[in-house]
Amino acid sequence: MLFKKLFGHQPESSAKEAARIQENVSVHQEEKSNEMTAVYHLVVLDESGSMSCVTEQTISGCNETIQTIRIMQENNKDTQKHYVSIYLFESGKSRYIVHNLPVHEAKNITHKDYCPNGCTPLFDALGFTLTELKEIMDQPETLGYVTIITDGEENSSRKYSLSMVRELIDELKKKDVIFSFIGANIDAAEYAKSLNIGNSMQFVQDDEGTRAMWERERLGKMRSGARMSFMKKFAKEEFDCCFSACENSGHYYKIGDIDQKRVTPASVDKLKKNEIFVFGSNVNGLHNGGAAKYAATHFGAIIGQAEGLQGQSYAIPTDGVTEEELYQAICRFCDFAKSHPELTFYVIAIGCGHAGYTPYIVAPMFRNAIKLKNVKLPMEFWDFLSSDNFVI
């Protein structure tokens, strides 16, 4: 009865609980049979009374996070299936408001869903949700993200202790789950450390601070998702090293300021003698539209040459090639840039126009350019890149 009292929605018997967990596991088994990676997003969100001052911002932020996961699903629709869970915790009625739903089925939350009240049973919330997640993550081809958001320390748990929760987190980190801890009115970094979570963010509990927190969470999830997708497709050994290590944190808040000297200007209409315009070409090198046409008319691009240095331009085939072929062409460009430090390369958002790709897909392919000081990348790409985000 105590368990049910703490989590008003909980099953009445362990048998029912086991059946529900097995049902969740079966979903992921089905995805495995279809050779899809099941990506499980869990948000464990404080609904205690002290969160009432940022109710509007919290609802809005949750909905933006759901929308971000929808975009991640669309960007990886052929290889991944994304699921969403949002678990609210407070001492009266901790519960899921979204539970293991495919993201396209998850509806936006409203004031009827989120009503701050009561105390902060953080450890019980984590113990319950992570125990369930552990069962799901036992299945192959399954990845997870857990985001914990609270504005205060644990003060009312009855079933789980810090050591029990920490043990669960340690186990899940070894099962390809990335954790992040977001806190207000506490030392978020120290509190996260006590849970053995390396990825943390502090936020100010006012309108501006809460909105900024949710925006950083949204962009952080996109960054980490882009990295995960890239590693699974093109860098399996690095992926295994990064996601299976005990210290995996995702690093998706430790981004730092982008050096503006490394950013390609919004418009490149003239070049100095040692500067090169890097554009996306079609596979036949026709250069008959957009940036390719501009490269042909202003920077010496050669009609019929789909790749490589030509005048003061460098072509990377983007239109009419596979994703794998695009990545290999970008790798060849990075090798070329590295061997020509006397040149400065202005890369525009190649592939993100007529070719139909997005920065989410293309930006991680430029990981080898991160430390090449003679390569400038568009801000759309830097949004998904940092030296913290990739194994170099």
- Domain final residue, candidates 244, 274, 299: 244
CA of 274: how far to CAs of 172, 340, 346, in Å?
50, 10, 11
Please give the mean pLDDT across all residues of the chain.
86
Q: How far apart are CA 383 and CA 213, in angstroms?
A: 16
User: Does residue 6 carry a pLDDT above 50?
Assistant: no
Q: Is residue 387, in this structure, part of any structural domain at all?
A: no
In this prediction, residues 214-237 reach a mean pLDDT of: 81
Q: Within a domain: residue 253?
A: no
**Same structural domain, 291 and 190:** no
Q: What is the DSSP string of 14-48?
A: HHHHHHHHHHHHHHHHHHHHTT-EEEEEEEEEE-S
pLDDT value, residue 381: 93
Q: Are residues 198 and 268 in the same domain?
A: no
Strands 80-89 and 95-102: antiparallel
Residue 144 pairs with which residues in a beta bridge? 40, 177
State residue 33's pLDDT score: 43
Sheet of strand 142-150, all strands in order from the earlier edge strand to the far edge: 95-102, 80-89, 37-46, 142-150, 177-183, 200-202
Residues 46 and 71 in one domain: yes
Asked, for residue 295, whether it belongs to a domain, the answer is yes
Beta bridge partners of 309: 314
Same domain, 204 and 307: no
Range of the domain at 308: 260-382
* Of residues 19 and 149, more confidently modeled: 149
Beta bridge partners of 156: none
Domains held by the chain: number: 2
pTM value is 0.76
Residue with the bigger pLDDT between 38 and 256: it is: 38
**Does residue 68 have a pLDDT over 90?**
yes
